[in-house]
Amino acid sequence: MSATTRVSFQHEALVYRTSDELLAGTVPFVRGGLNADEPVLVAVPPASMEPIRSALGDSAEQVRFLDMTEAGRNPGRIIPAVLHSFVNRHAPRRVRVIGEPIWAGRSAAEYPACVQHEALINLAFADADAVILCPYDARRLAGSALADAERTHPMIVNGDERRASDAYAHPHTVVAAFNRPLPDPVVAPATFVFDADDLPAVRRFVADHAGRAGLAGARIADLEVAVNEVATNAVIHGGGPGTLRVWPERGYVVCEVSDPGHLIDPLAGRIPPDPDSEHGRGLLLVNYLCDLVRTHTDRGSTTFRLHMHV
């Protein structure tokens, strides 16, 4: 296909039920990229990675592999740290990516952020010269996850069939559908109401309660930085004052920051700013540091919930 007729960006879901179907959908995709001298990234969980790597043989040495359970454990990190990084590193060349952000081990807390991530790919890379293929394990994923894949991917690959998704929805529609009030804490949280002058106290409050919950020193420092970024945004852009809540939850320390502002840009914290820009790095840093970031926003408030694994 010539450069004048090629569709720049493609985002497809590969529905597979067996290892053979996974390989039938991914290995030719990778080899096609290598034959066209296109850089190829495979970012999937280990259960998918090893069969793909083995089937590629010596060609695997030409492919960039990432463990998505590590690189993408926070779905909000995948666009900037995995996809945007790879696309920009090889620009202006066309790239191919296999990314599996939704697997059976994802928690109920992670899943809404995963679906929003899949939808936002279509906004973040609309002008990119890239093809992104997202495998979905139909044996282990719920039917609702496969239905959501139809809503977030313009094209569906299922065995020998490749078709346009009749259920595909605009990314803003999908993001809004999962922009739901966050569930109540499982235990009574420690609460601190703060304003701009209280930011040092916010960091001390986080360190104190995170340490009590079992978070280690370096991780406490990361959480302090992340909460400080969100709290600073709350009092500068959100109209303050802000409310900080901290509590332990199923192996995590959770810090929640709420303010009266309204977060308008769904890609905030996902697109790295230009190197000479003085703004746009705060929420990006939060996504890099935390194991999960959940957000709920409406016209009267915005809530960020930051999870750090103990």
- Convert the pLDDT of each residue in 124-164 to its tens digit: 999 999 999 999 999 999 999 999 999 999 999 999 999 99
The count of other CB atoms within 10 Å of the CB of residue 193 is: 11
pLDDT of 3 strictly over 60:
no
CATH number of the domain residue 294 falls in: 3.30.565.10
Rounded Cα gap, residues 109 and 77, in angstroms: 16
Domain contains 102: yes
Residue 194 has pLDDT above 80, yes or no: yes
Same domain, 166 and 37: yes
Confidence of residue 170 (pLDDT cuts 50, 70, 90): very high
Q: Is the pLDDT at 112 greater than 70, yes or no?
A: yes
183 inside domain: no
Co-location of 150 and 67 in the same domain = yes
Locate 197 and state its tokens: 């002058």
Q: Does one domain contain both 51 and 131?
A: yes
Whether residue 196 is contained in a domain is answered as yes
1 pLDDT more than 90 = no
Residue 240's pLDDT band, with cuts at 50, 70 and 90, is confident
The residue-averaged pLDDT of 250-278 equals 91
**CB-based contact 96:30 (threshold 8 Å):** yes
Q: Which residues of 154-171 are buried (b: 16+ CB within 10 A; e: fewer)?
A: ebbbbeeeeeebeebbeb
CATH code of residue 169: 3.40.50.300
Verify that 120 and 217 share a domain, yes or no. no
Question: What torsion, rounded to 10 degrees, do the Cα atoms 63, 68, 72, 75 define?
Answer: 110
What's the whole-number average pLDDT of the chain? 95
Give the domain extent around 269.
190-309
> In this structure, is residue 1 part of a structural domain?
no
> Within this chain, do residues 25 and 139 fall inside the same structural domain, yes or no?
yes
Please check whether residues 168 and 246 belong to one and the same domain: no
Q: Please indicate, yes or no, if residue 117 is contained in any of the structural domains.
A: yes
- Indicate if the pLDDT at residue 196 is higher than 90: yes
| Residue 238 pLDDT grade (very low, low, confident, very high; cuts 50, 70, 90) | confident
Distance (Å, whole) CA 308 – CA 9:
34
Residues 23 and 168 in one domain: yes
Among 124, 146, 177, give the residue marking a domain's end: 177
pLDDT of amino acid 235: 92
pLDDT for 6: 54
Residue 277 pLDDT = 74
User: Are 173 and 207 in a shared domain?
Assistant: no
pLDDT at 239: 78
| Residue 244 domain flag | yes
Summarised one tens digit per residue, pLDDT across range 87-111 is 999 999 999 999 999 999 999 999 9
Average pLDDT over residues 22-43: 98
The predicted pLDDT at position 5 comes to 45
Q: Are residues 156 and 126 in the same domain?
A: yes
Q: 7 pLDDT band (50/70/90 cuts)?
A: low
Q: Are residues 237 and 300 in the same domain?
A: yes
Q: Is 114 helix (H, G, I), strand (E, B) or coil?
A: helix
Cβ(255)–Cβ(306) under 8 Å? yes
Q: Is the pLDDT of residue 248 over 90?
A: yes
Average pLDDT over every residue of 176-205: 96
**Number of H helices and number of E strands within the chain?**
11, 12
Q: Is 254 inside any structural domain?
A: yes
Q: State what percent of residues in the chain have pLDDT above 90.
A: 90
> Average pLDDT in the 40-56 region?
98
> 97 and 29, same structural domain?
yes
Choose the final residue of a domain: 146, 177, 208: 177
Average pLDDT over residues 117-126: 98
Considering the domain boundaries, does residue 3 fall inside one? no
Residues 61 and 129 in one domain: yes
The number of folded domains in the chain is: 2
In this predicted structure, what is the pLDDT of residue 290?
Answer: 98
- Name the pTM for this structure: 0.94
CA 113 to chain centre: 7
* Band (2; pLDDT cuts 50, 70, 90): very low
* Domain end (from 148, 177, 206): 177
